[in-house]
């Protein structure tokens, strides 16, 4: 990344560490983020999104080490990580003990990915932990691909906007639950489910950023 963008990412990370809410780009749309470890920020984020109570919040992580701070990664999950991360595949995995119920929705699982966006990965790395990655729109509104498409009502609730230009848009991340019987598709997205099934059946790979 260029020096100016790196500086702005560092500023946004400082806001997140302080319990703030930040809008930032992913490999699909702009997301609304908070540190998963900050219960106060999670409550503010849910209110800003007008998100129904008890609905889980998806996360992004900078790398596998951050994923392992919030989720259990078994062999099949590592195959998925090696094949698709960084990238738009969100895995629903067993949550680590102590993960905030605002993230898990009380399910005992967490949805997480290492995103394809270098900006998003760097933001999570500098913030020091996984971030909420829900689209930066009020519930029921379309997700933005540009920072200037953000709703004024949502903007009033956030502490910073990390504008890195337009995002690709298109399909959201594919959402897959890894269960004993194999992968279960929860949401169609940018990664074809047939590729997920093929990777699940293959040998263990190492990677994930």
Q: What tokens were used for 16?
A: 């997140």
Confidence band, pLDDT 50/70/90 cuts, at residue 183: very high
Q: Please determine, for residue 209, whether its predicted confidence score (pLDDT) is greater than 70.
A: no
Residues belonging to the chain: 209
Q: Please determine, for residue 17, whether its predicted confidence score (pLDDT) is greater than 90.
A: yes
Between residues 12 and 1, which one has the greater pLDDT?
A: 12
Per-residue CA distances from 200 to 81, 82, 109, 110, 207 (Å): 10, 11, 19, 19, 15
Please say whether the beta carbons of 108 and 93 come within 8 A.
Answer: no
| pLDDT tens digits, one per residue of 45-80 | 998 988 777 789 999 999 999 999 999 999 889 999
Mean predicted confidence (pLDDT) in 90-96: 97
Strand partners, 182: 179
Question: Where in the chain are the domains?
Answer: 3-201
Please say whether the beta carbons of 21 and 45 come within 8 A.
Answer: yes
Mean predicted confidence (pLDDT) in 176-201: 93
Per-residue CA distances from 158 to 9, 16, 129 (Å): 15, 11, 19
Q: Output the average pLDDT for the chain.
A: 92
Confidence band, pLDDT 50/70/90 cuts, at residue 205: very low
Q: What tokens were used for 137?
A: 């729109």
Phi first, then psi: give them for residue 195, nearest 5 degrees: -70, -35
CB atoms within 10 A of CB 54: 12
Q: Please determine, for residue 208, whether its predicted confidence score (pLDDT) is greater than 70.
A: no
Strand partners, 187: 175
The helix/strand/coil state of 194 is: helix
The pLDDT value given to residue 203: 60
Residues 6+ apart with CB under 8 A from 29: 135, 136, 143, 144, 145, 167, 169, 172
Q: Please determine, for residue 188, whether its predicted confidence score (pLDDT) is greater than 80.
A: yes
* Max CA pair span of the chain: 48
| pLDDT tens digits, one per residue of 128-174 | 999 999 999 987 888 999 999 999 999 999 999 999 999 999 999 99
**Angle subtended by helix axes 3-17 and 118-127, to nearest 10:** 40
Confidence band, pLDDT 50/70/90 cuts, at residue 201: confident
**Count of H-run helices and E-run strands, the chain:** 8, 10
Q: Please determine, for residue 206, whether its predicted confidence score (pLDDT) is greater than 70.
A: no
Domain 3-201 belongs in CATH node 3.90.870.10: yes
């Amino acid at each position: 990344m260029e020096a100016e963008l790196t500086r702005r990412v560092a500023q946004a990370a400082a806001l997140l560490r302080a319990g703030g809410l930040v809008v930032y780009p992913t490999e699909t749309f702009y997301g609304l983020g908070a540190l998963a470890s900050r219960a106060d920020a999670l409550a503010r984020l849910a209110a800003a999104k007008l998100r129904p109570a008890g609905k889980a919040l998806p996360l992004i992580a900078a790398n596998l080490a951050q994923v392992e701070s919030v989720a259990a990664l078994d062999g099949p999950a590592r195959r998925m990580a090696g094949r698709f991360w960084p990238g738009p595949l969100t895995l629903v995995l067993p949550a680590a003990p102590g993960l905030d119920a605002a993230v898990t929705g009380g399910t005992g699982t967490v949805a997480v990915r290492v995103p394809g966006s270098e900006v998003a990965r760097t933001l999570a790395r500098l913030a020091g932990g996984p971030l909420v990655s829900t689209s930066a729109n009020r519930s029921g509104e379309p997700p933005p691909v540009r920072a200037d498409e953000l709703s004024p009502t949502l903007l009033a609730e956030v502490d910073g906007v990390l504008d890195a230009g337009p995002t690709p848009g298109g399909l959201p991340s594919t959402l897959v639950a890894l269960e004993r019987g194999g992968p279960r598709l929860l949401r169609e997205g940018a990664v074809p489910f047939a590729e997920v099934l093929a990777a699940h059946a293959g040998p263990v790979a190492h990677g994930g950023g």
